[in-house]
Amino acid sequence: NAGVTQTPKFQVLKTGQSMTLQCAQDMNHEYMSWYRQDPGMGLRLIHYSVGAGITDQGEVPNGYNVSRSTTEDFPLRLLSAAPSQTSVYFCASSYSWRGAGTEAFFGQGTRLTVV
Amino acid sequence: AQKVTQAQTEISVVEKEDVTLDCVYETRDTTYYLFWYKQPPSGELVFLIRRNSFDEQNEISGRYSWNFQKSTSSFNFTITASQVVDSAVYFCALSAFAPGGATNKLIFGTGTLLAVQP
């Protein structure tokens, strides 16, 4: 049982490049989300999904796209990377969005640097 | 608006000291959940505890204890007899019901860096 798996762990991008951060979970969780962690700001929600085919924006969605074609996968796309997107990105999943308060399981994080 | 405030940016203690990490939250919802997560130097986020708004009982787990007080909107975390392995960033988070249904959106505080010196 792998839990939540994020790839890659580290990435350096040039300004303007695009890339996809991968996230997969094997717990059959309905709810998946992406957060970014910046110094002094805690974790902020980028996008979330309550099930396959359903996504919505979080607090800081600009510059990012998501899709959820399967229950297991929730990739995060950076369309045109900017230095302001230098951050640590975490994917999380939890059993059900209907029962608010279920424990969130986090991936190991992706450290992204945009130069 | 929902908000979580962790006013202590950094705390440094000597091993075996007790330490309390403060968490103050704001929400207008009557049903909500509070969490603590630990982020050790390796970077992963580790779930520590969940508490719902209807359960004000304090909880103790080994050297860890949590004090939930709705009257002051606080959910403080105490480590008794701290150890070097407790060195980490600790995050308090809030999850609340949204109009139209529940959500697991977590609102995090900015975290408290705890350094336990040997």
Could you tell me which of A115, A82, A113 has the C-alpha nearest to residue A10? A113
Mean pLDDT for each consecutive 10-residue tract of chain B (118 residues)? 94 98 93 93 93 86 94 96 97 78 79 97
pLDDT at B93: 95
pLDDT at B100: 55
User: pLDDT digits over B20-47, tens only?
Assistant: 999 999 998 888 889 999 999 999 999 9
Between chains, do B43 and A109 touch, taking CB under 8 Å as contact? yes
Asked if the C-beta of B43 comes within 8 angstroms of chain A's C-beta atoms, the answer is yes
CA nearest A6 in B: which residue? B44
Query: What is the Cα–Cα distance from A1 to B8, expressed in whole angstroms?
Result: 36
Asked if the C-beta of B70 comes within 8 angstroms of chain A's C-beta atoms, the answer is no
DSSP B104: -
Between chains, do A58 and B105 touch, taking CB under 8 Å as contact? yes
pLDDT at A1: 64
**CA distance readout (Å), B39 to A53, A63, A109:** 31, 26, 11
Between chains, do B109 and A42 touch, taking CB under 8 Å as contact? yes
Residues of chain A with pLDDT under 50: none
Interface test with B, best of A32, A38, A106 (most B CBs within 10 A): A106
- Shortest CA gap B115–chain A (Å): 16
What type of residue is A83?
P
pLDDT at B117: 97
pLDDT at B116: 98
Between chains, do A100 and B96 touch, taking CB under 8 Å as contact? yes
